Chains A and B, each alone.
Chain A
Amino acid sequence: MPKVLMDHHDVELAALAAAGGRREFGELVRRHGSAVRSLLRRMGAQVAEADDVAQDAFLQAFEKCAEFRGEGTFAAWVKRIAARLYLKRKARDARYVAEIEPGEEDSAPGPDQAGLVDLDEALKSLSETERLCVSLCHGAGLSHPEIATAMNLPLGTVKSHVKRGLDKLRARLSPDVGQSGRSTHVG
């Protein structure tokens, strides 16, 4: 990899890629591929599926590279493309549900010892839809209305999923809240 390519800013590389520069785009993939794949896995995709969707997202990004104006980061832009592609795939499978599952509230496990839980582990305590909504909101940067449209869910439902998901994550990831949550269960 020539050093000069590594020194380019994402916006410059994207501009070169928009002019057909596949090598420049390859550098962008090298830089942000892991972030996009991580997001997809956090959304609930299996490893192979996440890689497939991430590849498709980058191919689509290459086609649309001229549309990237550098208002946000390139990684955020590709993440949004990848998140939407994954949602489309899931919608085909009709795997996520529109309603909040009854009795789901108490299903979240309590905090681990000293709150030492990483995000990927903590996300596993969320329901599939909560996980998707939280990841889309805080990982892919989609607004609540955008998530509602993309997932074909009512806006209020999306907000509920995000709130409940964040509450569960807070209980898992934040030691002080976790301890108080645990004492509530014990008491």
Chain B
Amino acid sequence: MSADEFDPMIERLFARSPQMADASLFAAEVETKLHSSSRVRTLALTVAGLIGGVIAVRESVNLNLHLSNDQAPVAGRVIGQGLEAASLNVQGAVGSGLSQLGLSDVTLGSMGGMQLFWIAAGALIAIAAAGVVRLSQDV
């Protein structure tokens, strides 16, 4: 048998693979892993979202808006005062909501908003870098 005849034959032999007896079991294991990885991902995203949301709300409650300014034009002052009032209303509502949940006294040590921002940014950059490294390994 020449090489020209043998090459297609060997490809046919490779393509011919009988169904294994435990094929269904194998498929079930893969499906189980898919379900569990999906659950872990959903849980991680939910937790991250909740933590981020709580921090964002907490920071917005502590925010002091100084929108009124004597030197601003009258229309600007009116808009500023309106925003400030609306903001205070929202802050009050959220604050009372957090108080009811027992989260009004949540503090993150002595860290300020900017520190938290830079920590979060650093963590995101580290995650992105790890993702790039992983991707480069996969390619």
Q: Which residues of A are in contact with B by a Cβ distance under 8 Å?
A: 22-23, 25-27, 29-30, 33-35, 37-39, 42, 51, 54-55, 58-59, 62, 88, 119, 134-135, 138-139, 166, 169-170, 173-174, 176-177
B34 within 8 A of A: yes
Instruction: Please report which residues of chain B, range 1-46, place their CB below 8 angstroms from some CB of chain A when the two chains form the complex.
Output: 1, 3, 6-7, 9-11, 13-14, 16-20, 23-24, 26-31, 33-35, 37-38
B30 x A58 contact (CB < 8 A):
yes
Contact in complex: B7, A166 (CB < 8 Å): yes
Known contacts: A29-B26, A33-B26, A176-B1. The answer to whether A22 contacts B38 by CB under 8 A is yes
Cα-based distance from A29 to B20 in the complex (angstroms): 12
Give the docked Cα–Cα distance between A13 and B11 (Å): 26
Give the contacting residue for B17; candidates A30, A35, A169, A170; CB below 8 A: A35
Do the beta carbons of B31 and A33 come within 8 Å of each other? no
The answer to whether A135 and B20 have CB atoms under 8 Å apart is no
* CA A35 to CA B16, docked complex, whole Å: 8
Q: Can you name 5 A-B pairs with beta carbons within 8 Å? A: A22-B34, A37-B26, A39-B14, A59-B37, A138-B7
Residues on A with C-beta less than 8 A from B30 are: 26, 29, 33, 55, 58-59
Indicate if the CB atoms of A138 and B14 lie closer than 8 Å. yes
- Cα(A32)–Cα(B1), bound, Å: 31
Q: Which residues of B contact A35 (CB under 8 A)?
A: 17
Contact B17 A54 (CB under 8 A): no
Query: Which residues of A are found within 8 Å of B28, using beta-carbon distances?
Result: 26
Closest 3 pairs (CB-CB, A-B): A38-B17, A29-B27, A139-B14
